[in-house]
Structures are given as C-alpha cells and as structure tokens.
Chain A
Amino acid sequence: MAHLRESAEKALKMLRTLPRVQLSNIRPNPNSKKNTKRGRAQHSGDKHGAGNKGSGQRQNYMRLGYETGNNPFYLRFPYEPYYKGHHLRRQYPPISLLQLQVLLDTNRIDSKQPIDITTLCNSGLLRLQPASMEYGFQLTDEGIDRFKAKICIEVQHAKESVIAAIERNGGVIRTAYYDPRSLQAMVNPSKWFEKGVPIPKRLLPPQDAVEYYTSAKNRGYLADPEEISKERLVLAQKYGYELPRIEDDPDYEMLISQKDARQIFYGLEPGWVIGLKDKLIIKSKSLPEEQANREEKS
C-alpha cells in the first residue's frame, strides 16, 4: 500500500500548482462514454450493422446448440452418471486456518467468545447459503503452520491435522450438525428474529452423518466427552505436541461452553420468542412438554 500512499501525496502536491478543480474543468475517463445516438445515413445508418438478407438482418436465428442437422454436442450424451445426485449432496464451504487467523488478528472475530456459524457470518466476510445445500463450514489446513490462536470453535467438518492445530494452541474444536432451517436462522439472526417465530429445535443429523458426529475422533457434538479427552491425548501423541491443560486456562469457562444438541444459539433455548424492538425474551408457560423439561432441570 506504500505506493498508493506515495501516489496520493504526489497527486495532491501537483494539485497545488494546477488550476482550481471546478465544474467547468472536470471530464470523464477516456472511453467511458459510448455514443447512444442512433446511426444516420452512410455510417452506422442505412442497414444499421445488420448486413444483407439472411438470419442476421431478419433476426431469424437458429436455436442455440443447433449444428445444422448433425447430432449436436448437447444431445450426443444421454446421461452423465458422475453428476448423479449432486444437487442433493451436502456441501461444506471451506474456511482455511489462514483466513481464520487473519480474521482474529484484524479483530473481525473476537477470540474471547466461542466461534460458530453466526460469528463467522456476522463478520460480513463469510457467507453461507443454506438454500444451496450448504450445511455449514469446514476448516481446511491451509496456513496450519502459522496458526497460533487459542479459540473455542464449532464447525461442521474438520480434518485431523486441523483439530490437532487448534488443540495444540490450547483451543477447543467441535463438529456439530445444523439442519437447514436452523442454519437459515443462524446465518442472519436479526432478520430471522424479525419474523417473530419461536426458536425451533435443532434437528438431529441424518442417518449417514450420525456416525461422523458421534465419533470422538472427529470431536463430534454427540460424542462422549470422556472419549473426546482420550482422543485429545492420542492426537497430541500422534502429532508430537504437549497437550495444554485447559483447566488451568483463565478462559476455561469460555472454552468449555458448548451448546446442547437441540440448541441453535448460545444462551437461547428452543421455544423462546425474541422481541428485538422491545428487547424482550418471551418464554412459553403453557406447553406441558416444556414445563416438564423445566421441572426436570430444576
């Protein structure tokens, strides 16, 4: 950026000797203005660039892809099985560890708070489109050597080496499943709360994802916490680093904060209605199910 600064300084210095910039002496960039007038007479007029007869002048063109009779390219192949069902497969847009580090260093994301999809989307730099079969973010290993932040992060998929990189720095990583409806709420919470609909329950993962999210190796949110601690040790030994004790960490409370399997937002339970304008949280009294739950808890 130094050269931009220098050119700005140079230009401003030049302006001191040039005439005053006024409405009468400014003009547009060269070639930015195209002539919108209709052609008349000899040049651009007469046939107006359409030539003589034929489909060019008569605007009676052949359909796109037509190859004047032979079997066209777009009809030659009856099916392409390698794309079968691609529109139904779950997608996980990637975030690299490098990107994450940059976001943390430039204060776009607060490392003192747990990080989930909502945090990442609120930064304004990452977008998730649940409607396009995007089920969350996956953490990739680009920039793994330079990753030095201690964070509590929740993604939807992460490689073993990435998990190791985060735990090595004293952080906590979990993989969690969110169904598309919950994702829609998470991606733009304020827009979703404006609907005035009670917060839904997060659904459990589909059949083919259950194995992934119940395994401690993947730090799944449905896995046994005991197993996860064991796997942390195993990974530390595998990758050759000393596992830091998060119990001794001053941010211990934040690092171990985890959402319930049915919870979408931190601190908010399903069934609550959020009133943004009046800054209220409305909890239902009447549903017997919830009353029972509340009694159980207390």
Chain B
Amino acid sequence: MLNLLNKSKSILIPALRNTTVRSTHDAVKEATPLVEVAAPTPPLILPQNWSQYEPVNRSLARQVWIENIDAIPERKLGLIELHPDVFATQPRVDVIQENVEWQRKYRYVSFAHTKTRAEVRGGGRKPWPQKGMGRARHGSIRSPLFRGGGVAHGPRSPTTHFYMLPFFKRVMGLTATLSVKLAQDDLHIIDSVDVPTRDPEFFKELIKERNWGPSVLIVDKDDIFPENICYATDALGYVNLMPSYGLNIYSMLKHDTLVLTVNAVKHIEERLLYQMNRTDATAKGGKFKLDQV
C-alpha cells in the first residue's frame, strides 16, 4: 500500500498529482519545528470508490483535509473525498427544524394534570332549586362555570407526544445537517481518536489554537473510545464523544463543531447511501407501526 502511494502516477486527485511523499514531509518540517512528529507517514489520500453508490457528478464530491489530534497545532495528514449526496445536498433547514422538533417531542411526556368536574371534591347536590330563585340554573357547584369547579378541557396526565417523523425525512435531515456543517466550516475529519494525555487542558488549548467552536462533538465508529480521550473529555461538559450510530441532528446543532474520524465518515456515508438507494423504499416510507414482528 505504501509503495502504491509513493508513485505519483497513482495519486488520483489531479490537484495533488505533482506532490510526492517528500514534499509533504518538508512542509511539515518547515511549518512546525516544535512538534514532535514520531515518524513521517505518507499522506493519507483517500479517493473513495463508492462501488454501488457512484455519484452522478464526480466533480461535486467534496475534498476535506484529514487532521491530527495527537498534538495541539494543526497538521494536515491527508485528504478524503466525501460523497456529494451526503455532504453536499440541499441544506433543508425546514427539514432540520422538523427533525429537531421531533427529537424534542417524541420522548416528551406531559405530567400536567387538572381535575374534571367529576373529580373535584363535592358538587353532587343541586345548589338551589331550578325555578323561583331568580338565579341562573345550575346542577352542581363544581361545573366549569363555577369558581373552584373542574376544568372542562384541561391537560390530563400523563399525555404522550409520541410520533414518528417519516423515515426519509429523518435521513434527509441527517444529510442536510452534515452538508450545513461542512459548508459552514464546522466539520473536521481526524484520522483517529488517540490523544496523548488525559489532561482536559489539552483539549482546551487545541480548541483555542484551531479556532474550533467552543463546543465540540467527536464521533468515532465504535462506542468504545481510548482511555485518554475519555478522561480528558469527562471534565469538559462542552466536548462530547459519540459513536456513529448515535449521530443525530439535535446533537450536531447543539455542538458548534463536529469532528468525525475517517472510520466514522465511511460508516455514516455507507449507511446513509444505503438508505437513500434502497429498493424497498415504499415499504419503509409507509405508516410507522409500533408493534411489528
């Protein structure tokens, strides 16, 4: 694999055809003399071949730097191509809003409760005779008309607000949010999630140095992260770790910066492209049934 990358002919991205391993290494030496780079690795140029889901127009594929997380100053380790149908779709802010609203509401249970006229204590007897009093006619002192009476159409506890947003709206929400993040320079891609220290200061410095938004969401493929990063981010409430299966629109918007590992990017792309190109879409897009075998 390394030999393959050493030959300039095999570099598929036109812009990088003239670069070689050596030139990258020199650039690193010139830019940051203080950084302790372990060993010069060849550039991680990852032109993606989406075998089944080839984009209609290859030139619309986005190319994003792969950055390092093992030191505070930024180093570009390579390049990755991102599928336009996932990272360069129409930024449907209305669909994003629907997804956020759904994420907020579907779990929400309202515990607000009022008593009806039947539940309010008392009010069984007719307060005064029907006729002859010169007063309005009433049957019970706890009717909604009365002060202290029951509430006619009040909240009844517990009230669920569960509903399912149509499946493909949720898929579209994910692709739209990823596109928005990339377009607004809030998406960064790192090679791996290995951090040198357990010190939370490392992250604080890193975020400040690289001008990442104060809150950062770090997404990797697996749900088991290395020790160091877990300890480092535990102390910081605004830097959070997430496996790629937990990726959701609310979290992506809540955190200013989204940081994905290369593995996470590949997994997310593969899953989203599968869902967007599945042939049994009609079955999936139908009414959501709660109890299904």
Contact = CB atoms under 8 A, between A and B. Distances in A.
Contacts of B56: 1
Contact of A23 (B185, B253, B279, B282): B253
Nearest to B213: A20
B279 A124 contact: yes
Nearest to A28: B97
Contact of B253 (A5, A11, A21): A21
A123 B183 CA distance: 36
A234 interface: no
Interface stretch (B4-12, B33-41, B87-95): B87-95
A166 to B, nearest CB: 24
Given A5-B60, A38-B153, A124-B282, A20 B183 contact: no
Interface string B51-90: 0000011001000000000000000000000000000111
A28 B94 contact: yes
A15 B180 contact: yes
A7 B90 contact: yes
B179 A12 contact: yes
Contacts of A11: 90-91
Q: Give the size category of A's interface with B.
A: 20 to 34
Contacts of A26: 93, 96-97, 100, 253
A15 B183 contact: yes
B186 interface: yes
B194 interface: no
A52 interface: no
Interface string A14-40: 011010111100111100100000100
Contacts of B180: 15, 21
A119 to B, nearest CB: 12
B30 interface: no
B90 A8 contact: yes
Interface residues of B, number: 31
B184 A16 contact: yes
Given A20-B256, A21-B180, A12 B96 contact: no
B234 interface: no
A280 interface: no
A230 to B, nearest CB: 40
A23 B91 contact: no
Contacts of A5: 57, 60
Q: Main SS of chain A's interface residues? A: loop
A276 B128 CA distance: 75
A4 interface: yes
Given A5-B60, A11-B91, A15-B91, A23 B184 contact: no
Contacts of B281: 124
B115 to A, nearest CB: 18
Main secondary structure, interface of B, reads helix
B98 interface: yes
Given A21-B93, A28-B98, A125-B279, A8 B88 contact: yes
B191 to A, nearest CB: 26
Q: Pick from B56, B98, B184, B282 the residue with the most CB of A within 10 Å.
A: B184
A29 B98 CA distance: 9
A4 B90 contact: yes
Contacts of A123: 279
A21 B283 CA distance: 33
Contacts of A22: 253, 256
A124 B281 CA distance: 8
A108 interface: yes
A26 B98 CA distance: 10
A16 B279 contact: no
Contacts of A9: 60, 88
A46 to B, nearest CB: 14
A232 B125 CA distance: 93
Nearest to A24: B253
Nearest to A12: B183
Q: Which of A4, A7, A26, A123 counts the most B-chain CB atoms under 10 A from its CB?
A: A26
Contacts of A4: 90
Q: Which of A11, A18, A21, A29 has the most CB of B within 10 A?
A: A21
B280 interface: yes
Nearest to B57: A5
A27 B281 CA distance: 28
A72 B280 CA distance: 46
Nearest to A27: B97
Contacts of A108: 279
Q: Which of B56, B88, B97, B186 has the most CB of A within 10 A?
A: B97
B254 interface: yes
Contacts of A7: 90
A5 B283 CA distance: 28
Given A16-B185, A20-B184, A23-B100, 10 more contacts: A8-B91, A8-B179, A12-B179, A13-B183, A15-B183, A20-B256, A21-B93, A22-B253, A27-B97, A124-B283
16 contacts: A1-B56, A12-B91, A15-B91, A15-B184, A16-B183, A16-B184, A16-B185, A21-B180, A21-B184, A22-B253, A23-B100, A26-B97, A28-B97, A123-B279, A124-B283, A125-B279
